[in-house]
Chains A and B, each alone.
Chain A
Amino acid sequence: MTDSQPWPPPGRRGAGGPGAGEPGSAGRAGGRAEGRGSGDLGTLLGQVARGDDAAYGVVYARVAAHVFGIARSVLRDPAQAEEVAQEVLLDVWRDAARYDAERGTAMAWVTTRAHRRAVDRVRSEQASAAREQRAARAEVSYDVVAETVAARLDAERVRRCLGSLTDLQRESITLAYYRGCTYREVAVLLKVPVGTVKTRMRDGLIRLRDCLGVD
């Protein structure tokens, strides 16, 4: 790999650091730790499905920062990111009854939708060639906010696990997830065969899964 990036990417060093959060917004970015384990988020979705506005407010508080963060990461443009985030969050309200705990955690259900929607948006907009060039140049900078201790620990753990992957695994995964590149685009960016990217993505995710201890 020739054009390898430093890890963590330069713009992300301050993630969760001082000044990242705004006063009075605590709790909004703290979804994962509370949603996991207790299975609370799934239960809340059940209540939302029955039209419970208050439960929806709690769900919003737990997932909005994740949803917006994903949209922001993939789309870059804050205005578009907000539009996509709103659509996804409204979908959560509309489709809450379709959430099936058998198929995965509630947080995964929400984040999968958010990522899919952001990626669909970005791909429908641009010819892939133009986007590849842009992705290659794009500066990675996130004003990432992790306000609660639990959320910071979650993020830290993910970073640590990402750090345990090989460069090629990690870069294949981050280019795809954080920037919304297809595996073919990733192959061009990393100058490796598409088959290699496919397998690195899978191997890397398997390692990540095992490192994070998800089932």
Chain B
Amino acid sequence: MDRALKTRLEARFGTVLAGEVRQRHDQTEVRIGAKDVVDVLRALHDEPDLGFVVLADLAGVDTGREMQVVYHLWSSTTSDWLRVIVEGLSRDDPRVPSATFLWQGAEWMERETYDMFGIVFEGNRDLRRIYMPPDYTSFPLRKDFYLPDDAARSPGAGVRHMERTHHPAEASEAPLRSGTGA
């Protein structure tokens, strides 16, 4: 846990941060809003005393109430991983600026997040589905996407966790693809 990083981040970003800087084990966590993503990431990447040059991961999260985009960054100036959580994205129309202006490699990670959560990364020039077929309409990792499971109708239904979340009535409302195409 790098206490100095916490003071440095608080001094540099101040009120831009939503809530306090949290630290646990080898991770430091800051929360920001979608409007500050470009400025914060640019400062973290470009300023030599921060120097977070490695984008380790980009993840989407559906908390059930809102969407989040989570960046994990590494810098040689600290012994901690830095986690930047972009919070407060609406579930109906989640939008966040793309990180491809700093890391070209974020392009596919953003495509994956778009594919799985429907989060739109503004500025990503190739934001199309990456895993699911092009005519697919759902976003599988959203919390309102139930895992269809034939075993749910088995005598053991309700015993396994996987089946407990399954509601056949809701699953049948999901848009079914016609037998054509992929």
| B partners with A | no
Residues on A facing B (Cβ under 8 Å): none
Residues on B facing A (Cβ under 8 Å): none
